[in-house]
Amino acid sequence: MKIKMYEKIAIGCIPKQVPLKDALVTYIRTELSLIVDDFGDGSYVDVARKVSEAVAKGDYSRGIVICRTGAGTAMAANKVPGAYAVHCRDAEEARNSRGINNSNILALNAMHEETAKEIVRVWLETPFPFEERYVPEFEKVRNME
């Protein structure tokens, strides 16, 4: 599946994950040929808020946030209306979170760089929906806001 060239990605992390974030920024720009803006680093709550607000506002099509566990950034991101964050630890979770659940924020934990690249690639390549039957369920989630 080809990634849409108009995709604009926002990314941020906690200070200890700067090397992984930087590697992903380079990968997204050079290997996937997408626009990615680095929102820097900070507390997991502040980074998740900045990235999710930018995505929810429509300035970016998707966002990536990285912390030690992935859970904290996902929890914080999901407090922003219009942000649908998921913590993915492998490519299959990434594929399903997009194709079934229409996630727009990917939360990653501290992990090996190559694993993170594979998760990001699959997540960015996967369209929503896999099947039309998933659309009404996503609309139910959106209507809960």
Give the global pTM.
0.94
pLDDT > 70: percent of the chain: 96
pLDDT of residue 38: 98
Question: Does residue 102 belong to any structural domain of this protein?
Answer: yes
Active site residues: 67
Judge whether 1 lies within some domain. Answer: no
Q: With respect to residue 60, please indicate whether it lies within any of the assigned structural domains.
A: yes
What are the beta bridge partners of residue 65? 12, 107
Number of domains comprising the chain: 1
Q: Which residue has the tokens 């970016």?
A: 60
> What's the pLDDT at 2?
57
- Per-residue pLDDT tens digits for 126-142: 999 878 889 998 999 99
Whether 15 is in a domain gets the answer yes
CATH code of the domain covering residue 94: 3.40.1400.10
Domain assignment of residue 86, given as a range? 8-142
Helix (H) or strand (E) holding 10: strand 8-13
Whether 2 is covered by a domain: the verdict is: no
Q: What is the pLDDT of residues 43-61, one digit of tens each?
A: 999 999 999 999 999 999 9
